[in-house]
Amino acid sequence: EAMAFAAKALRSPRPEDSATALKRTVQGSMALQPEETIAFLSRMAGKLVEKPVHIDEQAWRNSLVDLHLVMSCCKSLFVTLEHHREAMLRVSVEIVTCRQSRVALFWDDYWWSDDQKREAFKAIVEEKLQAVVKWKNGCVSGAPNAAMDGSDGNETAALAEQELGEQRAAREKAERALKSAELSLTSLRSEVEEAGGRATFLERSNHKLTDEVAQLRKSLDGDDKAKQLAEALSKLAVTEARLQEASEASAAGGGRGGMDAASTELAGAGLLEAQARLRDAEAELGSLRNTQKRLEGELVK
């Protein structure tokens, strides 16, 4: 989106439109990374208004030393443009080689329906046509664009100076917008770093609280297991006491062999009951000892 806005800024026929489009470019480029945005806006501000370039004649002559390359270029132009008239070719070349006029080449395909662009391009064609005609008729020497510098071109020169002032103002406005964007990006970077620091602090606090909760739960589980072990030991002591009583009762029943039949029968019944209680007590004792071992192992863990 930022590149689309910048393209519109470069294609705009008026400096104020270019400044407006560049302002939208600054706003749209905030979706890019900070470094990419600064570099992008710097390039756009430099391309928005191009400074006049002085032609180095010697450098141009050096570019034409290779006559084979010059012949190849001429043939390519001839093959491509031979079906056009000379007037269209010369005016078109002047438009393409003029830094200010060739901005129109980047307009969209619907420029004809835009009255402002249509009139602007019409004025460009008329201007270049006058320059070419004067050069062909021998009114001026040098390149066709030199016709703009004749004695009868004072008005055109004044307009060009006015346009240059507007372009400079637009460039200054673009540079101010760029500086504002850089400040905004710096502030945004500071906010992002501060938010990252807060997030790191909260994450560490969360880990610390999680560890404390885990230790607390482990401590509570250990207390419960210790309580269960104490209960198991208590039951074990009671069971051992009952087992001791049953053993004593069994021994007492076996030592009274000289009783009568009724007493013997009663003692036998008591012995059987004592033996049953003994077996139950032994089984419960084994279960309690297994529980004790399991709880001691869990406490060690």
Domain ranges of the chain: 2-48+67-198, 222-300
Give pLDDT, residue 191. Answer: 87
Decide: 291 and 227 in contact? Cβ < 8 Å. no
Which amino acid type is present at position 210? T
Number of neighbours of residue 293 by Cβ within 10 angstroms: 11
The tokens 């501060």 sit on which residue? 194
The tens digit of pLDDT for each residue in 30-83 reads 555 556 665 665 565 555 444 555 678 888 888 888 888 888 888 888 887 778
**pLDDT, average across residues 108-133:** 90
**pLDDT, average across residues 249-264:** 52
Give pLDDT, residue 125. Answer: 92
**pLDDT, average across residues 160-183:** 83
pTM of the model: 0.33
Give the chain's mean pLDDT.
71
Torsion of CA 241, 242, 248, 249, to 10 degrees: 160
More confident residue, 126 or 14: 126
pLDDT band at 19 (very low <50, low <70, confident <90, very high): very low
**pLDDT, average across residues 162-174:** 82
Give pLDDT, residue 13. Answer: 47
Lookup: tokens for 260: 């009568």
The tokens 């637009």 sit on which residue? 170
Among residues of the chain, what percentage have pLDDT more than 70? Answer: 52
The percent helix, strand, coil of the chain (3-state, each to 5) is 85, 0, 15
Q: Report the interhelical angle of 15-28 vs 154-255 (nearest 10°).
A: 10
